[in-house]
Amino acid sequence: MRTLFLALFSISVIACSGTKQAAPVANTPPAGLSSPEYDPANSPTPMSANTPLPAPAPAEPSAYSYPSASQVATKGVEESAAPATYGSSVALGADAAVYTAVALDLEGLWVNTTDDREEVEFALDHYTTFFEGEQIIREPMTFHLQCPGECSGGVPSEFSCFTVKGPAGQDCYGIIRLTDDILELSMLGVSTETVVYRKKR
């Protein structure tokens, strides 16, 4: 009986020793490493609103870069020169001799070819309308060798015109045809119909 007990005890001791786990091995730091020492002279300093920013290094332009400003040189043109205004008698820098010739052709008394009771007389700075010999209206006018854009939707026209400023605003009369004895007018922006006059004197 005692022998049996010792045998069982020996078996249990052997079994327990076989299932015993090995103790964990502690991780050890590698040897031979060192951290940088703290140096107040080389440590970063916090920035404030008054801290100046470092200037960026100059960059070399690329081979195909484009200039930011126009490099076109203007020869013989003064930059301060202003364009002619619409109110000027000679519009858009027209030749004064041509302007005078056309304005002189316009001068005189003209008779409506549809109704000879209506007449219109043009001077250099005004026009006068008559009906059956009686004066109806006389208004100042401005002759334009090239009609300004304000008469044709903002785009200057290739034909001449004269403008009249009255109580209702400005009216533009396009000169469709002008010869020694024929004048054809159209009221721009109002009608596409034309009125033809014949030179009386």
Q: How far apart are CA 201 and CA 63, in angstroms?
A: 72
Question: H/E element holding 135?
Answer: strand 134-144
Type of residue found at 5: F
The CATH number assigned to the domain holding 166 equals 2.40.128
6 located within any domain:
no
Range of the domain at 132: 91-199
Tell me, yes or no, if the pTM score tops 0.95. no
What length does the chain have? 201
Interval 8-18: pLDDT, tens: 556 655 555 55
Domains: count for the chain = 1
Q: What is the mean pLDDT of the chain?
A: 72
Q: Is the pLDDT of residue 135 over 90?
A: yes
